[in-house]
Structure 1
């Protein structure tokens, strides 16, 4: 019997209309004025599968659509096209009431620990609120015990639960955010760059905490990050995004040992390594295309040294490779690299 993936994303698209000042919306063409509408093409046909118990990391430069993808999965942003399935049920077309049953199974850890906690609520209120909402049968004593257990499990003294977020450091706040996500015993945690605002030493502590909790609760992670060292240490598979599209999807070891897409090769070449001083970073020429324009052909063709006419005219499809990776690149398909 075929195992159903925990999360299945198919041909997901998202557009945003940019609201400019009133005067900036108008242009002239042959003496006639017309109203111009700027659209940001954030996601362009993303297809992705997440299996139960794994950690899938999504990497790519700023503005490539990673956070938009995370918010679409969590229902915070409604996609314009495509489908999202959780288990065997489609969830992207559900309203807030219908989606309520999935709120407990899917949780999110946000990037900024200074903004993700309500400054007017104590830590006890922050943790107890979701517990009470999803478990109305629990008594006050049972809720208190669960809050104490949660806060202690992330390395913070239970005696501090009556304090407010401003009394904690950034690393402690992110630990509290993780405790809040764990409070409803989810199956999937979407972590949107949870280490970005933290010091390097604190990043290691939070990352180790997340790994421990994954083993303890059999969690599945969709982990968004810029840090390729974290990716190599933490993930089972890696998805590389560029300008709202998927470039490469690969097991972690395969990606770092043998990157195939030219953009992936450029990303990995920028990692400082003590064991290899001969490889020079790949310098990409040109500018990143603006997301205001619809993509034609390969999203990377304007900066790719291997681009040909086909790359400009035809969008490459994700093709399965012999080593288990999938790559969207005409040059790889035609064996030009």
Structure 2
């Protein structure tokens, strides 16, 4: 807010500014894989997830599902895609209707998308999905407030699976859970992927979880895509200075001393982004070109993409 306040003509005015939460982010997600998107809070992960799902309309660019563009469709035209793409939200209690029982919550998407199904078919599907995710039959008549966070997240995952989707966006689905429950939910997601051939876009800031579940990883900073590659490559050979700083912050058992990369300054405000590379103010490898010119994405090795002048010039 302070960045919007200006003194002009003897008066204090508030300028209307435009925040680019996600800026020039381009990637593909391949069938059967898990693409994880990581970055610190405020980097645009959730905005990206909701844009991919069609909940937010992009101001520019394109969204395509199996080659078909869907970002400019009407609500009615989007209906076939809604059944194919589902989302698991970060806060399970906020995303579940408190006035509906578990049975009603799980039946609703099925009856909405497939109104011709009989009661017996709906019941069979309900039992199948509940058994898959560990939702007990006795829970069917209970309300969301009667469950723990882990149990509510299981219900959220079950709701997403009810319509047999091909693609699921999981927006930090375990961040509000304790460690033991996190492991259960992760294993549940991976088992469902194996059994149903699901494709995931997994949003998280927990790098240990990302390393465990991911096929590929995309690293975001201030709405831009810094690095994109296979999970093994990213954790063994990170190229972007921001990725290196993130990975250096992971605690390691038995490590003597500290190789933690300390970043200078604070995260800039997205209202007034810096010129050139958005990371240059905190980067130890920045030079005049970094401060002046926005880096383009390059591919130093097969399937490893990075947007960094220092990498391009061979300085790191």
| TM-score of the superposed pair, with normalisation by structure 1 | 0.90
Q: Tell me the CA shift for residue 277 of structure 1.
A: 2.9
CA gap of 1:81–1:261, structure 2 versus 1, over 3 A, is same
Q: Tell me the CA shift for residue 133 of structure 1.
A: 1.3
What is the alpha-carbon distance in structure 1 between the residues aligned to residue 145 and residue 13 of structure 2?
50
What is the alpha-carbon distance in structure 1 between the residues aligned to residue 229 and residue 109 of structure 2?
36
Matched, 1:77 2:67: no
Matched, 1:213 2:192: yes
8 Å Cα contact 1:117/1:177 also seen in 2 = yes
| TM-score of the superposed pair, with normalisation by structure 2 | 0.96
Q: Tell me the CA shift for residue 38 of structure 1.
A: 2.8
Larger fraction in strand: 1
**Which residue number in structure 2 is paired with residue 135 of structure 1?**
114
Match of 1:40 among 19, 24, 33: 19
CA gap of 1:123–1:285, structure 2 versus 1, over 3 A, is same
Matched, 1:246 2:225: yes
Structure 1 stretch displaced more, 87-96 or 241-250? 87-96
**Which residue number in structure 2 is paired with residue 182 of structure 1?**
161
CA RMSD in angstroms comes to 1.7
**Which residue number in structure 2 is paired with residue 171 of structure 1?**
150
Structure 1 stretch displaced more, 135-144 or 221-230? 135-144
Q: Tell me the CA shift for residue 25 of structure 1.
A: 7.3
8 Å Cα contact 1:43/1:65 also seen in 2 = yes
What is the alpha-carbon distance in structure 2 between the residues aligned to residue 196 and residue 25 of structure 1?
32
What is the alpha-carbon distance in structure 2 between the residues aligned to residue 256 and residue 233 of structure 1?
11
**Which residue number in structure 1 is paired with residue 171 of structure 2?**
192
- Secondary structure, in 3 states, of the residue corresponding to 1:174? helix
- Secondary structure, in 3 states, of the residue corresponding to 1:93? coil
CA gap of 1:172–1:32, structure 2 versus 1, over 3 A, is closer
**Which residue number in structure 2 is paired with residue 94 of structure 1?**
73
Structure number with greater CO (CA < 8 Å, separation at least 6) is 2
CA gap of 1:231–1:302, structure 2 versus 1, over 3 A, is same
What is the alpha-carbon distance in structure 2 between the residues aligned to residue 92 and residue 281 of structure 1?
41
Task: Report matched runs for 1:226-265 at 5 Å.
Answer: 226-265=205-244
**Which residue number in structure 1 is paired with residue 91 of structure 2?**
112
- Secondary structure, in 3 states, of the residue corresponding to 1:108? strand
1:262-302: CA deviations, max 9, x gaps? 00000000101125435521110011110001442101000
- Secondary structure, in 3 states, of the residue corresponding to 2:219? strand
Match of 1:151 among 130, 133, 139: 130
Q: Tell me the CA shift for residue 95 of structure 1.
A: 1.5
Aligned length: 316
**Which residue number in structure 1 is paired with residue 282 of structure 2?**
303
Which blocks of at least 5 consecutive residues in structure 2 are unaligned?
none
What is the alpha-carbon distance in structure 2 between the residues aligned to residue 238 and residue 43 of structure 1?
17
